[in-house]
């Protein structure tokens, strides 16, 4: 599992007891609360091209949710520049915090260790909650943040898991190998949801399904992310040497509150990518109708999760996941602590899902949420179509540790953890030491006044007596080169010395 990976999470934002909230304005002001003394967006957008497609072309347009036109018109009335609206910050821990389509988004720094990534994902929650506290004090109203994927009115916002992988793997093979895994991964990675919906709003509320995002996928493959969403996204932004690498931009997953679920979701996907790079995935995993299947698995109230393969055979999501697991057990090195943990827990969770999913209330988000709702329905004498349940669903994802329902379970010791509060606090203030995020974050910490702009794979300094100097971090995929750059940064007392030494 030696690859860079990271998580991008868009958060739902609103104000307590307010019906008409401008989410763009509130997101901008929330992000400004991170560093009100020195708020300087420095992100360099020149390296981004969301139109470039991995299949070898550049899209002419991107499809947008119908409401996006309303947001764009509102933005034109704000008298703010594009940079001011994005409010794009790089943090000293190497992460990125910005306003993305009416949602505050936190992108973790690149990590190389599974549990390091879980700690940085949770650090994002803590950072945003601190911003919410500061903003609430200034506003005189409570700012509420939700790490979920739907507002129950037809809008879905993303949690994207990203993996650096080899460029030389043919895209068609990647797509056919990863798509069945993505469709079935929700049986343990789903966050749970009351009812189902479409882009036009709620269609039915009287039952519980596995995943929040599954309602919102309509095509197998596309470069789009906001409308007519694909299960496999083809955006080609490797943020590395494009001749060697691609970035698998996974947009199909839910945002998870459970540390265990996050670790299992990312860890199993990373191992499947290992298998894909070894070309171990057979072609008989292909699904007959992936779009229908992803929805049917999520909504299946029997938990049998049966569907049809392209070859006409019927299989369950559990059994197809077992096929991926068997390949990982056979071909991958289990001596790595991360890999060993994933293989053990992957098998254990599949066994429990087959015998009784409710045995996993301490590990999986969808099971924990369903247990909470079942208890509440019994106590209050409700039915599954009661709108109260949607409110409770939402509160499971409230990131306030004092009031969020998930954190209520965690405080009672009812949720299994994989990182400590100390590790999360460390991740709030420190980048991973073995990735290029260290160079990015520590450069900002040491030489903030001299930093002109930053990108994932590039940082530009204003150096006295010279034109701005850009340092590429494209080669900091290699661990030895990463350690060399990071060591030089630690030893350099001035930005001039850093540039000269590099």
| Cα 409 → chain centroid | 22
Alpha helices in 362-415 (DSSP H): 365-380, 388-396, 405-411
Q: Whole-angstrom Cα distance, residue 31 to residue 128?
A: 8
Q: Is 201 helix (H, G, I), strand (E, B) or coil?
A: strand
Greatest C-alpha distance within the chain: 74
Of 231, 185, 209, 358, nearest to 298 by C-alpha is 209
Spatial CB neighbours of 433, under 8 Å, sequence gap ≥ 6: 486
Distance, in Å, from the CA atom of 481 to the CA atom of 479, rounded to the nearest integer, reads 6
Q: Are 256 and 118 in contact (CB under 8 A)?
A: no
Pairing relationship of beta strands 451-455 and 458-461 according to DSSP bridges? antiparallel
Query: And the tokens for 241?
Result: 């040497």
> Cα torsion for 320, 327, 247, 101, to the nearest 10°?
30
What is the Cα–Cα distance from 67 to 73, expressed in whole angstroms?
A: 10
**Cα 39 to Cα 41: distance, rounded to the nearest angstrom:** 7
Cα separation, 28 vs 145, whole angstroms: 14
Are the C-beta atoms of residues 103 and 23 closer than 8 Å to each other?
A: yes
Phi, psi of 134 (to 5 degrees): -65, -45
Total Cβ atoms within 10 A of residue 71: 17
CA distance 342 to 232: 23
User: Which pair of tokens denotes residue 165?
Assistant: 């992988």
Contacts of 21 (CB under 8 A, 6+ apart): 13, 14, 15
For the question of residue 254 being annotated catalytic, the response is no
Q: How far apart are CA 182 and CA 278, in angstroms?
A: 19
Identify the H or E element spanning 351. helix 337-355
- Pick the catalytic residue: 100, 215, 254, 338? 100
CA distances from 124 to 88, 119, 450 (A): 15, 9, 26
In the block, which residue shows the tokens 């903003």?
135
Give every strand in the sheet of 159-166, ordered side by side. Answer: 89-90, 96-99, 104-107, 5-10, 159-166, 245-250
Residues noted as catalytic: 100
């Amino acid at each position: 599992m030696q690859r860079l990976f990271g998580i991008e999470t868009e958060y739902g934002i609103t104000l307590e007891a307010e019906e008409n909230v401008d989410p763009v304005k509130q997101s901008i002001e929330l992000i400004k609360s991170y560093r009100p003394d020195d708020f300087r967006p420095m992100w360099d957008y020149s390296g981004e091209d969301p139109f470039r497609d991995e299949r070898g072309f550049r899209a002419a347009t991107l499809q947008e949710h119908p409401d996006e036109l309303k947001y764009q018109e509102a933005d034109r009335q704000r008298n703010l520049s594009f940079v001011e609206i994005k409010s794009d910050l790089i943090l000293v821990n190497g992460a990125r915090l910005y306003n993305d389509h009416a949602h505050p988004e936190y992108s973790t720094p690149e990590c190389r260790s599974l549990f390091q990534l879980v700690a940085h994902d949770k650090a994002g929650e803590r950072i945003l909650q601190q911003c919410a506290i500061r903003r609430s004090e200034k506003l005189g109203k409570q700012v509420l943040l939700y790490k979920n994927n739907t507002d129950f009115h037809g809008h879905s916002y993303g949690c994207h898991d990203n993996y650096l992988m080899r460029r030389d793997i043919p895209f068609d093979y990647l797509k056919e190998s990863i798509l069945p895994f993505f469709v079935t991964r929700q049986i343990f990675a789903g966050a749970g949801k009351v009812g189902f919906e479409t882009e036009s709003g709620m269609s039915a509320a009287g039952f519980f399904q596995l995943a929040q995002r599954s309602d919102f996928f309509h095509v197998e493959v596309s470069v789009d992310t906001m409308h007519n969403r694909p299960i496999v996204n083809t955006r080609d932004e490797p943020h590395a040497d494009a001749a060697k690498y691609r970035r698998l931009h996974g947009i199909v997953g839910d945002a998870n509150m459970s540390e265990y679920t996050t670790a299992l979701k990312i860890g199993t996907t990373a191992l499947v990518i290992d298998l894909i790079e070894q070309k171990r995935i057979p072609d008989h995993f292909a699904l007959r109708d992936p779009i229908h299947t992803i929805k049917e698995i999520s909504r299946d109230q029997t938990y049998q999760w049966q569907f049809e393969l392209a070859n006409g055979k019927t299989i369950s999501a559990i059994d197809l996941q077992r096929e991926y697991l068997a390949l990982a057990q056979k071909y991958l090195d289990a001596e790595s602590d991360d890999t060993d943990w994933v293989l053990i827990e992957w098998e254990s969770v599949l066994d429990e899902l087959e015998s009784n999913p409710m045995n996993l209330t301490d590990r999986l988000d969808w099971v924990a949420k369903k247990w909470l709702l079942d208890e509440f329905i019994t106590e209050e004498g409700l039915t599954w179509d009661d709108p109260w349940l949607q409110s409770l669903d939402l509160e499971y994802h409230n990131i306030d540790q004092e009031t969020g329902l998930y954190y209520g379970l965690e405080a009672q010791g009812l949720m299994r953890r994989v990182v400590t509060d100390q590790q999360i606090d460390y991740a709030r203030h420190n980048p991973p030491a073995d990735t290029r995020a260290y160079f990015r974050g520590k450069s900002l910490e040491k030489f903030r006044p001299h930093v002109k702009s930053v990108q994932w794979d590039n940082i530009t300094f204003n150096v006295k007596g010279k034109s701005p100097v850009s340092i590429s971090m494209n080669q900091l995929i290699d661990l030895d080169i990463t350690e060399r750059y990071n060591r030089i940064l630690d030893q350099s007392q001035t930005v001039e010395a850093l540039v000269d030494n590099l």
